[in-house]
Amino acid sequence: MPMRDVTNAKGLGDLRTAITNRVHAKPPQKGTAHLDLYLLSKEKQRLEKEVTRLERQQKRVREHLTEVCQTIEELEKEAQLEGSSQMASIDLAGGKKEPAPASQYGQRRWKKMTLEY
């Protein structure tokens, strides 16, 4: 693992601390190997659960990204078709077209007023 310092770390989780390096103030006692094995096995289980959770989350994000990309493609095709049909209607109408009524979009028209400074 490359060495991370404060300037290269992307977050606090990337920094190595005394806890993450398993550095203790007092020297290890004899006979604590079983306790260390137990603690490390629990840490391993926790990390494996986190990996599976992250894989599921990554799968959901990828699926959502695929859906968004498909929707974008469909809307771009629809916009191109509308654009070409609008161009044809503008040419037939003499180049000037009235704005769509506000009721078509479910909103009211804005009231306009002039301001003098």
For residue 12, the one-letter residue type is L
Q: Within a domain: residue 48?
A: yes
- Alpha helix ranges (H) inside the chain: 33-93
> Is residue 37 domain-resident?
yes
- Contact call for residues 99 and 86 (beta carbons, < 8 A): no
Q: Looking at residue 10, what is its pLDDT?
A: 73
Instruction: Give pLDDT tens digits for 66-94.
Output: 999 999 999 999 888 887 776 655 555 55
pTM for the whole structure: 0.50
Residue 98 lies in a domain: no
Asked whether residue 40 carries a pLDDT value surpassing 80, the answer given is: yes
pLDDT in the model for residue 97:
60
Number of domains in the chain: 1
pLDDT score recorded for residue 79: 87
Residue 49 lies in a domain: yes
Range of the domain at 71: 12-92
Do the domain assignments include residue 114?
no
Q: CA Rg, the chain, in Å?
A: 31
DSSP-assigned letters across all residues of 21-51:
TT--SSPPPTT-HHHHHHHHHHHHHHHHHHH
On whether residue 6 sits in a domain, the answer given is no
Q: Mean pLDDT score of the chain, rounded to an integer?
A: 78
Dihedral sign for Cα atoms in the order 54, 55, 61, 64: negative
